[in-house]
Amino acid sequence: MLDADKVFAGSVPENYDRYMVPLIFEPYATDMAQRAAALSPSAVLEIAAGTGVVTRALAPKLAPTAHYTVTDLNQPMLDYAASRQPPDSRMTWRQADAMALPFADASFDLVCCQFGSMFFPDRPAAYREARRVLRPGGHFLFSVWDRIEENIFADDVTNMLARMFPDDPPRFLARTPHGYHDTNLIRRDVEDAGYSSVTIETRAEVSRATSARIPAVAYCQGTLLRNEIEARAPGTLEAATDEATSVIAARHGSGEVAAKISAHVILAAV
């Protein structure tokens, strides 16, 4: 992962939430919220919350007496998430690095993280940090994307950009969001961090959009692919988005489009 893969700023948060969230994140957020609520936590820490899709799904499911601390490394993403959430006295918003959480030991009984672990520079160290702030009997619930070939729109766009920029193909999606998919490695990282009873479930969903243009805009302009495209050829972002639209339409149709997405959901106990 490159340092640039962690900087979600400018128009990225808004486009990310407008396009990426309904396209691929909402089904998994609903699932994660259900899994989290089933644990009946009284103190929840969410790390790498992004624009708050899990936050919006989970907050209504928590007990009136629960406390929910929502964090992200990127202040612009956190600000956007907070702007989308109704006022709630149970909730605290705080910029925080998952590698060095600013919380005391044994402060929470659930730490959750949807699609953030892929961005951690040292995953076992981040998992140990999550374990540090968990109480005995607590749980760490997180998800990561499966390999890019199992996430069809992302693969379509990545392959298109490789043809558009053959000398230096933009590889953000394959490198980072879809770069941590080996379940044996994930299990080893979690167990090395000191957790017990690690379970990993691979969950397939369907990504749907009303037109091919939506996934094209989502990936080209709502992720850090935007920065890679603009760095290689300033002024070509719209052309790249148009080409992605054409490729997706050619493969999936010119009207409503649908394609497989796949992720791993991990639950580890302290």
pLDDT digits (tens, 9 = 90+) for 246-260: 999 999 998 999 999
Are the CB atoms for 264 and 130 separated by under 8 Å?
no
pTM over 0.85: yes
What are the two backbone dihedrals, phi and then psi, of residue 261, each rounded to the nearest 5 degrees?
Answer: -130, 155
Are the CB atoms for 161 and 216 separated by under 8 Å?
no
Least Cα distance to 52 among 89, 14, 11, 99 occurs for: 14
Are the CB atoms for 15 and 45 separated by under 8 Å?
no
Question: How many CA atoms within 13 Å lie on the side-chain side of 72?
Answer: 25
Q: Reduced to 3 states, what is the DSSP secondary structure of residue 181? A: coil
Give the separation between CA 213 and CA 256, rounded to whole angstroms: 10
Q: What is the pLDDT of residues 17-53, one digit of tens each?
A: 888 889 999 999 999 999 999 999 999 999 999 999 9
Q: Residue 6 has what pLDDT?
A: 43
Q: Residue 20 has what pLDDT?
A: 86
Give the separation between CA 78 and CA 18, rounded to whole angstroms: 15
Give the separation between CA 22 and CA 209, rounded to whole angstroms: 8
pLDDT bracket for residue 16 (50, 70, 90): confident
Q: Residue 12 has what pLDDT?
A: 63
Q: DSSP states of 123-169 as a string?
A: HHHHHHHHHHTEEEEEEEEEEEE--GGGSHHHHHHHHHHHHHSTTS-
Give the separation between CA 231 and CA 176, rounded to whole angstroms: 18
Average pLDDT for 214-227: 91
Exposed / middle / buried, residue 128 (Cβ in 10 Å: 0-12, 13-18, 19+)? middle
Which residue shows structure tokens 């928590």?
62
- Share of residues in the chain with pLDDT > 70 (%): 96
Q: Reduced to 3 states, what is the DSSP secondary structure of residue 193? A: coil
Q: Residue 7 has what pLDDT?
A: 45
Question: Which of these ranges, 17-21, 212-216, 228-232, has the smallest mean pLDDT?
Answer: 17-21
Q: What is the pLDDT of residues 142-154, one digit of tens each?
A: 999 999 999 999 9
pLDDT bracket for residue 156 (50, 70, 90): very high
Average predicted confidence (pLDDT) for the chain: 93
Are the CB atoms for 178 and 116 separated by under 8 Å?
no
Q: Residue 2 has what pLDDT?
A: 43
Question: Which of these ranges, 17-21, 67-71, 185-189, 258-262, has the smallest mean pLDDT?
Answer: 17-21
pLDDT bracket for residue 11 (50, 70, 90): low
Exposed / middle / buried, residue 26 (Cβ in 10 Å: 0-12, 13-18, 19+)? middle
Question: Within the chain, what is the greatest distance between any pair of CA atoms?
Answer: 56
Give the separation between CA 34 and CA 152, rounded to whole angstroms: 26
Domain residue ranges of the chain, discontinuous segments joined by +: 3-269
DSSP state of 117: G
pLDDT bracket for residue 67 (50, 70, 90): very high
Average pLDDT for 203-221: 95
Q: Residue 17 has what pLDDT?
A: 84
Average pLDDT for 178-195: 97
3-269 sits in which CATH class?
alpha beta
